[in-house]
Chains A and B, each alone.
Chain A
């Protein structure tokens, strides 16, 4: 009987304690962040969408080799002599036309391994995190600054140059005595 009454008492008491707690929580400010209207400030070193600053890219392919998921694909064309590609911001001379620099951001695992090998620090992670698309193809980002025609032109230029060089090498054998030239320095 004593147990019975104490059961009733403890049931009621615990219910009221629980109700008190939930009632208090009615007035606790919500932790919800109203996302599209309000955004959390991201930490400084956050890793989100990759960005390539093509002005600084020398087409060295190191980032593509570092990528563990092979989401970066780079094609380059050698420049022909006489063309000036300019310099990167840290003073390196560019020697390659970058004809393809695609990052499939859908594959990217945000590991940042491509960022470290870059000699010119032109590939880095930004804090942009809203880039959903309806088509998966739209997630393949192309960063090249050259237009399609320019790419073709550069390729044609290079092929022409190669062909010329090959023709030079192939045709006139006679003027080749200077072959055993000592390696300079």
Chain B
């Protein structure tokens, strides 16, 4: 893909570096936009206005905030474990950045077109958990540690229903490659996995409600994996100050923030490529109609970003709608509801596929 293209005239090593940095071009503007968007959405849901003074309707507010964060003193608590305290934000961000390698942004750009795309993303998100635990422990602050512990427990248990739903999809399509999966959902909105994929006939009608349920399950579990409300007990402002990043300030805090927003988009991107047709447009492409083929990947990127940001917006919407779950309720939701239901869906879908 892009690596081959760049390495054809620059050589392999620069190409690797450049191709590795490409998602950064997306993540940083996205994080800036998403922070602004979150503040605006939350403000309007609470009948407020949100940032209004920096730029048109406060559009440059997050840039001003980043400038402020850069200037801030880099405080390390004296009782903290300094090496781990400094590494933790980097590790967390590495975990969420690595996930972007396997996300198919458009038919022309996917960082690494590997056959195990989704599993790879789930694997590297383990680094995020380790980073959070490291941050919480190194801060040497009981709130931070509690937050990190809760976060790890939550992410580890919510990984199970996520993987089962992904397995369900794989039993339907027979590939773990996100690029191929996206290509399978092309040409028509009803080929999207949420509408049963390319299956035809009566099976599709049976599949649609199942796929809707699977979509809901994976959306909820990914929500829990990025520690968003209603599953935000790891950072619960009202009880744990702000969990694992209580002690962080300045750029390290910004790094956690960036990682959180990158993660939000990463999980939305996974859900998009698994269920909502990936980068495919629901209506067909303008580039194909007027005969400009290079327009198609750009349109695909637009659709992918649009779907991803729409899902991120729903995450924000949920955040300002629902209260936080208690720890026991959280575990009940995961172990008593999501896991059995996802198993049930998995069984039924597998049976349907065998029939």
Contact = CB atoms under 8 A, between A and B. Distances in A.
A62 B328 CA distance: 67
Interface size bucket, A side? 10 to 19
A26 B321 contact: no
A42 interface: no
A22 B317 contact: yes
A23 B44 CA distance: 9
A86 interface: no
Query: Looking at chain A's contact residues, is the secondary structure mostly helix, strand, loop, or mixed?
Result: helix
A15 interface: yes
A8 B332 CA distance: 12
A140 to B, nearest CB: 32
B54 interface: no
Nearest to B52: A34
Contacts of B45: 22, 25-26
B188 interface: no
Nearest to B319: A22
A166 interface: no
A30 B47 contact: yes
Contact of B322 (A8, A12, A15, A34): A15
A15 B216 CA distance: 12
B64 interface: no
A145 B44 CA distance: 51
A32 B48 contact: yes
Nearest to B314: A19
A7 B336 CA distance: 11
Interface string B317-329: 1101110000000
A31 B47 contact: yes
A171 interface: no
A18 B229 CA distance: 14
A18 B47 contact: no
Interface in A1-52: 7-8, 12, 15, 18-19, 21-23, 25-26, 28-32, 34
A23 B47 contact: no
Contacts of B322: 15, 18
A8 B320 CA distance: 21
Contact of A25 (B47, B318, B341): B47
B175 interface: no
A6 to B, nearest CB: 12
Nearest to A21: B321
Contacts of B48: 30-32
B296 to A, nearest CB: 33
B318 A19 contact: yes
Nearest to B332: A7
Contacts of A25: 44-47
Contacts of B43: 30
Contacts of B317: 19, 22-23
B49 A19 contact: no
- The residue among A12, A22, A23 with the most chain B CB atoms within 10 A of its own CB is A22
B49 A32 contact: yes
B306 interface: no
A32 B48 CA distance: 5
A25 B44 CA distance: 7
Contacts of B5: none
Contacts of B320: 22
A43 B278 CA distance: 58
A31 B44 CA distance: 10
B26 interface: no
A15 B323 CA distance: 10
Contacts of A8: 337, 341
A17 to B, nearest CB: 9
A28 B46 CA distance: 9
Given A15-B321, A26-B44, 7 more contacts: A12-B216, A18-B321, A19-B321, A22-B320, A29-B47, A32-B48, A32-B49
Interface of A: 7-8, 12, 15, 18-19, 21-23, 25-26, 28-32, 34
